Amino acid sequence: MKRVFAVTLGILTAIGGFVDIGDLVANSETGARFGMRLAVVVVIGVIGICVYAEMCGRVAAISGRPVFDLVRERLGPKAALANLTGSYLVTLLTLAAEIGGVALAIQLASSVSYLLWVPVAAFAIWVALWRVKFETLERVFGLVGLALVVFVIALIQLQPDWAALAGDATQLSPPDGEDWGTYGFYAVSLFAAAMTPYEVFFFSSGGVEEGWTAKDLLTSRMNVFVGFPLGGVLSLAIMGCAAVVYQPLGVQVDTLAQTALPVGIALGKIGLVVVILGFFAATFGAALETGLSSGYTVAQYFGWQWGKRVAPRQATRFHTVVIISVLLGVALLLTTIDPIQLTEYSLVFSAVVLPLTYLPILVVANDRAYLDDKVNGPLANTLGIIYLVIIVVVAVAAIPLMILTGVGQ
């Protein structure tokens, strides 16, 4: 059990990247429209986030420096401020979406409109951020979020033609009726979601919150190599379920209820209960991840005291940023904007944010003044460079693809 608890930080971090509210629906939508033809992007994303999360976990364990600290240190105040602005907006949009996601999950269980649940959900999230110990948060929401494994069981129960699914996964082109632009757009947004910057902010800051030292390098690596692949598997299972149930009918997916339906069809009422519980835990966990990350980035840029190891009274600026972010998120949702669409728009900022976040990590992970003999080996550097190139390509392609395809419509 202790082993399981040790990797909950990685699991919770991965939930925010792979199965938060935007991704729950986007994975399902991708499966419904493209079958498994974009599965490879999820795999590429899992490897990419593993490479960089491993680096920043190592830096956090050995030098005690979380990611945004390094961003400011290595890029200087101006470029880091540009990154801070973009990262904060991505994080804020996602936080708003997750608050809406928690409310949508409750709607599925109560049939009362999600808008009425938004203030309740936001308050509950804030109380957790204010009062509950970091380890408790990651354990509860990391583990309950694993209820989403029900998608894997549902996929097996649906008895798909596995050979056809696998064959589909090797086709790197859009199916009939879809064009390359939309295919590209979904590829870019799946990749950007997998590598979304608040994952590394949260993961490295979480390592510092847990008091990692050089002795915890193994813990850090276990978190990375268990958490993110698990997130990727959930993501693929959701995609697979939608591909089996929806693609033959030509149905496109854009609601959370549609994402859950294959589980209901395969496993009945109990499955449905489990999947709604999983939605709740995953969106709540992602809300905690983004809520804390909004405070982490701002506080680390300015060098303020941050985190949940100390009483709020000791980190008043950090907690103020968190509270303001939650309130802004609620305000955004009460305009009745669709929470599920929100995270797609955060793609706009990835052009600035992705390169300016991952480049400093790669540079510092090579510096002996920080890591002594634990600097990157040839494998980490080769993968690091390959992914940096992919990140730059994705960052450059994101905005034109968004405009060209009308956000994938």
Partner 1 sequence: MTDQPDPLRIDFHLLDRQIVDAAGEPVGKVDDVELTLNPATGRLQVTALLSGQQVLGERIGGRLGGLLAGIARRLHPVEHPPPLRIDLTHVASIGSAVTLTVHRDALPTPPLERWLGDQFIGKIPGAGHAGQ
Partner 2 sequence: MVTTVGVVVVWAAVVVWSVLPPTPEAYLAEAVSAAQDAVSATGTVLLVGRADLDDQLLPPYTDTALEDAQQAAATAAQDLLAAPVPDADSLVVRLDLVPLLVAASDGITAVATASSEGDRDAVEAALAALVPVRDELDQFVQDNQ
Partner 3 sequence: MRASDLIGRPARRPDGTVFGRIADVLADREPDGTWTVYAVLVSNSQRLRLFGYERPEITGPWIIARLASALQGPLDEIPIADIGLPNVI
Which residues bind to partner 3, rule: CB under 8 A?
Answer: 74-76, 79, 359, 362-363, 366-369, 375-376, 381-382, 384-385
144 makes contact, choosing from partner 3, partner 2, partner 1, none, with CB < 5 to 8 Å by partner type, with: none
**In angstroms, rounded to a whole number, what is the distance separating the alpha carbons of residues 210 and 194?**
24
CB atoms within 10 A of CB 76: 10
Residue 175 interface partner, choices partner 3, partner 1, partner 2, none, CB cut-off 5-8 Å depending on type:
none
Task: Report the nearest approach of partner 3 to the CB of residue 119 (Å).
Answer: 44
Give residues in contact with partner 1 (CB under 8 A): 63-65, 69, 72-73, 76-78, 80-81, 130-134, 136, 299-306, 308-313, 316-317, 319-320, 369-370
Q: 320-357 as b/e, with b when 16 or more CB fall inside 10 Å?
A: ebbbebbeebbebbeeeeebbebbbbbbbbbbbbbbbb
Q: How far is the CB of 313 from partner 1 (least distance, A)?
A: 5
CB of 251 vs partner 2, minimal distance in Å: 4
Residue pair 199/51 in contact (Cβ under 8 Å)? The answer is: no
Closest CA to 310 of 319, 321, 322: 319
Which entry of partner 3, partner 2, partner 1, none binds 363, CB below 5 to 8 A by partner kind?
A: partner 3
* Of residues 220 and 258, the one with the C-beta less far from partner 2: 258
Query: How far, in Å, CA of 303 to CA of 347, rounded?
Result: 28
Cβ nearer to partner 1, comparing 82 with 389: 82
Residue reference for tokens 């706009």: 348
Look at residue 107 and give the partner it binds from partner 1, partner 3, partner 2, none, a contact being a CB closer than 5 to 8 Å depending on partner kind.
Answer: partner 2
In the complex, which residues of this chain contact partner 2 (CB under 8 A)?
A: 107-111, 177, 245-246, 249-255, 257-258, 260-261, 264-265, 268-269, 272-273, 276, 409
Query: Which residue, 42 or 388, is less far from partner 3 as judged by CB?
Result: 388
Binding partner of residue 384 among partner 1, partner 2, partner 3, none, CB cut-off 5 to 8 Å per kind? partner 3
User: Closest distance between partner 1 and the C-beta of residue 353, in Å?
Assistant: 18
Q: Using the minimum distance from each CB to partner 2, give the nearer residue, 73 or 338.
A: 338
Q: Which is nearer to partner 3, 178 or 367 (CB)?
A: 367
321 vs 323: CA distance, rounded Å = 6
Taking alpha carbons only, the member of 80, 93, 97 closest to residue 19 is: 97
DSSP element (H, E) containing 265: helix 256-302
153: partner contacted, choices partner 1, partner 3, partner 2, none (Cβ within 5-8 A by kind): none
DSSP character string of 58-116: HHHHHH---HHHHHHHHHHHHHHHHHHHHHHHHHHHHHHHHHHHHHHHHHHHH-S-HHH
Q: DSSP of 192-231, one letter per residue?
A: HHHT-THHHHHHHHHHHHTT--GGGHHHHHHHHHHHHHHH
Q: Which is nearer to partner 1, 4 or 127 (CB)?
A: 127
- Kindly tell me which of 326 and 397 has the beta carbon lying closer to partner 1: 326
Query: Which among partner 2, partner 1, partner 3, none contacts residue 308 (Cβ within 5 to 8 A by kind)?
Result: partner 1
Check: CB of residue 281 under 8 Å from CB of residue 316: no
In angstroms, rounded to a whole number, what is the distance separating the alpha carbons of residues 164 and 166?
Answer: 5
Calculate Rg over the CA atoms of the chain.
20
Q: Which is nearer to partner 1, 20 or 138 (CB)?
A: 138
Residue 139 CB, shortest distance to partner 1, in Å, is 13
Measured from the CB atom, is 68 or 349 closer to partner 1? 68
CB of 348 to partner 1, least distance (A): 21
User: What letter represents residue 382's amino acid?
Assistant: T
Minimum Å distance from CB 208 to partner 1?
10
